[in-house]
Chains A and B, each alone.
Chain A
Amino acid sequence: MKIFLVLLALLPLGVAYYKLDSAIDPIKMLYTTTGIGAISLLLLSLLPSTCKRVCHFNFLRYRKTIGLLSFLYVLLHVSVFIVLDSEFDYITIFEKSLKKPFIYVGVIAFIILLFMTLTSFKKLFAKYSKYHKAVYLALALALLHSFWAQKVAGVFEYNVVAIGLVLLGERIWAWKTLHVKTF
């Protein structure tokens, strides 16, 4: 089942590789594929806990896999920035790009997700899992970054915001009911 999940999640990368030769704006295409992939998987990684509460269907065991797949997309996205877009021009990256909110907001999200990836294995997870709530911040920043990536925001961004708000609303509601019970 996990293998199937991984293959399904990697499918867009295969398609992107296949289309690279004929792409009209290849760098932009790679940015879009990896960016949309990363945000979609990040959003999807929030689903298992919602599902457990709402429909009593437990697939929490897939949450880590989904999260790691999302980070793979993030890593490729950052690679496109450094290798293809900036062409390893570190002077421009540090002196110009990193000063722009559009870029550093994305970089902060990347650092949060890097931290989560590195602390997602047994021992470290026990110690650091409480900080994994930062995923909400990472998602919000990634979304802001995605809004800023175009001249005006498109359908994808608004859909992510809508789904994100529903998931967040359910969490607040669940937390409230839990809170009322304890008192």
Chain B
Amino acid sequence: MHITPEALFEARRNFLKLGAGALVSSTAIAQLLADMPHDMNLTYTPDPNPLKLSPNTFEQITNYVNFYEFSTDKTAPVKLSQGMKTDPWNVGFFGELKTEQMLSVDALIAKFGLEERIYRFRCVEGWSMVVPWIGFPLSKLLDYLEPNANAKYVKFTTRHDPSLFPDQAKGLFASIPHPYVEGLRMDEARNPLAFIAVGMYGKRLLPQNGAPIRLVVPWKYGFKSIKSLDLIECVDKEPLNTWQAIDAKEYGFYANVNPAVDHPRWTQSKERLLGKLTKQATLPFNGYEKEVASLYAGMDLRKFF
């Protein structure tokens, strides 16, 4: 018995529709192209994975998330986000850079190409995972944007659209202040590890993982890796990131993974790798010490936590 896999079946249907559309008009084709599903496989350069990290399963990564724009629960955002429209999606680039502009996610992919990065991900709450992200280095984007001499920091903002994110519609009763803001120092942003992800496990990001485009900073606690980006701005002052604004005693600007500096409520020396009943040691800079420690030479990491 021959069964067509779902993806192929969908692809064939779309191909047939396109053919039919071509007979009618070119606007119909444009419409059909826009309706093409985006979970089609991405083309990318695989990560040779020199650290031999074994990624968590797709099921684990897509069913255990912090996405307060939907809910503070770990699994609730999965259902709540399924109707989220992530295409078309434009990201705005503003501030201290050569040309302020808006670009679609598809245009960014076309411009910078895609590669895979298998990274450790450590949440400030004490759990961790390994994720095979797909995207492009933030440095490629910055090279293209050409920040000027005043650009000392990069500020990231999540889209503010209460029709997409139910928590943003709650006003005073929202779980956190919206929109979510994060930031990096320019040299951190230019580090080759800092990454913009549009996919994971060969596919476009699912809504609950921050579709359609998000930041990934593997040596920092997960809350720095802001989701569903709306704005990327080059600025001269250190942006006040959301968790620091909520509680500066518990969350700082830098948020580098550091087993020696405890969270005021729990230790950070070990972590729970998703799917495991035993714990593992947390590594300085989440295991990326060699690549990023020099960024913080001479800084008191207890003060700048």
Contacts and interface: CB of A to CB of B under 8 A. Distances in A.
Interface stretch (A45-53, A95-103, A128-136, A166-174): A95-103
Interface string A1-41: 00000000000000000001000111110000000000000
A92 B125 contact: no
Given A24-B64, A27-B272, A28-B272, A152 B176 contact: yes
Contact of B267 (A28, A96, A148, A151): A96
B: contact size bracket: 20 to 34
B305 interface: no
Interface stretch (B28-36, B37-45, B189-197, B258-266): B258-266
A100 B269 CA distance: 15
A103 B270 CA distance: 16
The residue in B63, B66, B265, B272 that gathers the most chain A C-beta atoms within 10 A of its C-beta is B265
B182 to A, nearest CB: 15
A100 B274 contact: no
B210 to A, nearest CB: 17
A92 to B, nearest CB: 6
Given A25-B127, A25-B272, A152-B72, A102 B265 contact: yes
Classify the secondary structure of A's interface with B. helix
A147 B274 CA distance: 23
B275 A96 contact: no
B64 A100 contact: no
A163 interface: no
A87 B280 CA distance: 10
Contacts of B269: 92, 96
A82 interface: no
Given A26-B277, A28-B127, A154-B73, A96 B262 contact: yes
Contacts of B274: 24-25
Interface in B59-88: 60, 63-64, 66, 68, 72-74
A24 B262 CA distance: 24
Contacts of A101: 265
Nearest to B73: A154
A96 B265 CA distance: 10
Contacts of A151: 66, 72, 124-125, 243
Given A28-B127, A151-B125, A87 B266 contact: no
A143 B192 CA distance: 44
B279 A24 contact: no
A151 B270 CA distance: 18
B277 A27 contact: yes
A150 interface: yes
A97 B276 contact: no
A97 B267 contact: yes
10 contacts: A24-B63, A27-B272, A84-B279, A87-B270, A96-B262, A96-B267, A97-B267, A101-B265, A151-B72, A154-B72
Interface of B: 60, 63-64, 66, 68, 72-74, 124-125, 127, 175-176, 243, 246, 262, 264-267, 269-270, 272, 274-279
Interface of A: 20, 24-28, 84-85, 87, 92, 96-97, 100-103, 148, 150-152, 154
Nearest first, the 3 A-B pairs at minimum CB distance are A102-B265, A24-B64, A26-B277
